[in-house]
Amino acid sequence: MSRSSEEVLLIVNHVRQKKTDGTMYLMGERLAWMPGGKDTFTISHLYADIKSQKISPDTKDKVQLQLVFNDGGANTFHFNNPEGRPAMIKDRDSVKEILQQLLPKFKRKISSELEEKNKILQENPEIFQLYKDLVVSQVISAEEFWSTISNKLASSSKVSTPNQTVGVSPAFLADIKPQSDGCNGLKYNLTADIIESIFKTYPMVRKKHAESVPHQLTESEFWTRFFQSHYFHRDRMNVGNKDLFSDCAKNDEEEMKEEMSKQVKNPMMDLTTISDNSLGEEYRVISEGGARKSANQINVSMIKRFNHHSTMVLKASVKSLPSTSTDEPPHKKRIIQEMIQFEDLEEESKKDSVSLRLDKMERYLHGPTPVTACRYTSSQTVLHASQTVNNDINTWSLDFNNILTGNSAVGVLGELSPGGALMQGTSHQQLHQMIPKDIQQEIRQQYSALCELLRHFWNCFPVSSKFLEEKVVKMRSTLERFQLAKLNPLKDKLNENHYNINLMGHLEDMLSAAYTKFDTWQMKKKTKR
């Protein structure tokens, strides 16, 4: 049976699958089927795995519902209510309507997550390599990998680029083209996007939908009444009081009156203040308001509907934008100031200068006085110094007593030569010339992967909760698996090439530090007990 935490939305009996009778269960996140006489589900499909649903035509004897999955597979259910064909169709339509509401939600959620993850892997080669080293090799699970990577990148992207919601097409109702069902009726095909556009444009319809579906009406009955209502056709006929949507039109009128009563925030765009006036010298008052009003009375309802549509779309877009109330008043004042001021007509502003106060005018005019305390050298002193230098140069002789002996010099040169005592572990070649590029790339990849695992490990300290305690134990075993699966084969590969330098030394030091920290924490935990 289903888990206790699952919400069962619908139970339909007499549903056959491969000639076996059973019961269908529609729950919060999956659809399941249980054979008759058993207490376990033999079929269970997540809504996220279902691509679409298909129903059998009315001309077919069997009343069937087919589920098409994302992997290309399909599963068909046969509704076999003993009360007759109308009961079969009713059961199938009830399942179809619930799936019609749930499938777009799960499909949009899964597709958006996959698109975000694919985008992250395509734009970040290092993260893609980490994914291959850690997830593909089953060192850690995909959920653990994305729990930190995706959150970090998502937070940075949210700061840089704000979300932008999709607008409402002005002709979305015209795009709903009804088809004839062959019985003097019309059939509307509504998608999730069209329904969302209707809800955005007419908020009262959303409210009616929440109140009526599924308590009073089914999904199909609600939309049938909507398209049959006077509210949808209010441009062609008067609104009746018995209509389900009669109060929606009244609410629209009240909203428009409320919007008209509000003052326009930008006075330069207030069109209500613009009016033609014929008052003046030798002119009489010509009032054409009554005739103009009566002439346009036929189109008033259509104009009101257009204005209401534009108002609701603008209100929806304003709500989605972040609030910047603190910056709005200075911005508005600056716009109005730019509109009403012209630089060419302004007078030249005189800048107030600060007067200079001087105690002694002579210091300002002549500048600072130089310091005269200098030491002068006579010409005789210069000649005497020159003669002394010449005598020292002429009488200079070589002194070999303090020079290094030949044997010592040869010994020093030998120690400083490649292979000498002072040159152990060095070579005239640089490291990137000694190590092949494929080995360098592999070492970089393993180094990056180990750093990512160690970051998860060190984030667990201090261990202050049960969750962190379980995670640090799990990360210790993960590090051991990574060392056995990745680092040890790489170390053996490097030993086969007989490199003089220990290229794995730093990786081993980082691992030993993590192991020491874990052992110390475990010993402290045992002593506390």
Neighbours of 55 (CB within 10 A): 15
Q: What average pLDDT score do residues 377-383 get?
A: 85
First to last CA, the chain: 42
Q: Which two tokens stand for residue 310?
A: 């534009």
What confidence tens digit (pLDDT) does each residue in 193-229 have? Answer: 778 777 877 777 888 888 787 677 777 888 888 777 7
pLDDT the model gives residue 161: 46
What confidence tens digit (pLDDT) does each residue in 254-271 have? Answer: 777 777 776 656 666 666
Q: Which pLDDT band holds residue 318 (cuts at 50, 70, 90)?
A: low
Report d(CA 31, CA 24) in Å as an integer: 7
Contact 413, 423 (CB under 8 A): no
Which residue in 106, 100, 113, 115 sits closest to 67, CA to CA?
Answer: 100
The residue among 438 and 433 whose pLDDT is bigger is 438
Q: Which two tokens stand for residue 524?
A: 């402290």
The angle subtended at Cα 396 by Cα 390 and Cα 401, nearest 5°, is 160
Does the structure show a pLDDT above 70 at 371? no
Does the structure show a pLDDT above 70 at 345? yes
The residue among 290 and 350 whose pLDDT is bigger is 350
Least confident of 228-237, 240-249, 424-433: 228-237
Q: What average pLDDT score do residues 353-368 get?
A: 75
pLDDT the model gives residue 294: 46
Q: Which two tokens stand for residue 98?
A: 């619930």
Does the structure show a pLDDT above 60 at 295? no
Does the structure show a pLDDT above 60 at 119? yes
b/e code 196-230 from CB counts within 10 Å (16+ = b) = ebbbbbbbbbeebbeebbeeebbbbebbbbbeebb
Which residue in 139, 212, 122 sits closest to 477, CA to CA?
Answer: 139
Phi, psi at 76, each rounded to 5°: -115, 135
Which residue in 84, 85, 94 sits closest to 31, CA to CA?
Answer: 94
